[in-house]
Amino acid sequence: MLKKLAYILGTGLGSGYVPWAPGTAGSFSALLIFYLIPLADSYWLIFAVILFVAGLWSSTRIERDLGVQDPPQVVIDEWVGQWLALLFLPRSGLILLLGFLIFRIMDILKPFPARNSQVLKGGWGIMIDDVIAAVYTNITIRLIILINSR
């Protein structure tokens, strides 16, 4: 039962099983959920924190079960990262699109210290780099908004 729950959570309700670009599929599914469920950002922050803790557990379990470091089907980190990337920003289509695209770029490029964080053991190495990518994304969008408001 717990193994099944770990896989359901860790694979982002199965979105991580997409054979092409599972991380992008995971981010997109998180974006859809964020868009379709109109909650206040404070609730999304709470969900992200809860999912982060669940991600530590589930990704560690899946990684150990498969014997693969940071398995591609684990996308709970993309869910948490995508939600954090969009927090406390205006809810427009353009911002959501920018948030998705910039987050994917940051997650792929892994700017300092994201790449270094991947050496952390188990779920920590899986989860932290996406949180860092989310912070970079959120700051980048804020700078874009600031520059365009002048």
pLDDT score at 19: 92
Mean pLDDT of 19-33: 96
Nearest-10 Cα torsion for 82, 86, 88, 93:
-150
Residues 117 and 129: beta-carbon distance below 8 Å: yes
Domain limits of the chain? Answer: 26-148
Asked if the model's pLDDT at residue 71 lies above 90, the reply is: yes
Which of 46, 44, 41, 71 is closest to 59 using CA atoms? 71
pLDDT score at 144: 97
Mean pLDDT of 12-36: 96
Which phi and psi angles does 110 have, rounded to 5°? 50, 65
Lowest mean pLDDT among 9-18, 101-110, 113-122: 113-122
Please write the tens of the pLDDT for every residue from 88-110.
Answer: 999 999 999 999 999 999 999 99
pLDDT score at 8: 96
150 — pLDDT class (breaks 50, 70, 90): confident
pLDDT score at 23: 95
Which of 74, 95, 110 is closest to 31 using CA atoms? 95
Please write the tens of the pLDDT for every residue from 42-65.
Answer: 999 999 999 999 999 999 999 999
Asked if the model's pLDDT at residue 116 lies above 90, the reply is: no
Give the CA angle between residues 47, 9, 62 to the nearest 5°: 130
DSSP string, 14-58: TGGG-SS-HHHHHHHHHHHHHHHS---HHHHHHHHHHHHHHHHHH
114 — pLDDT class (breaks 50, 70, 90): confident
Asked if the model's pLDDT at residue 118 lies above 90, the reply is: no
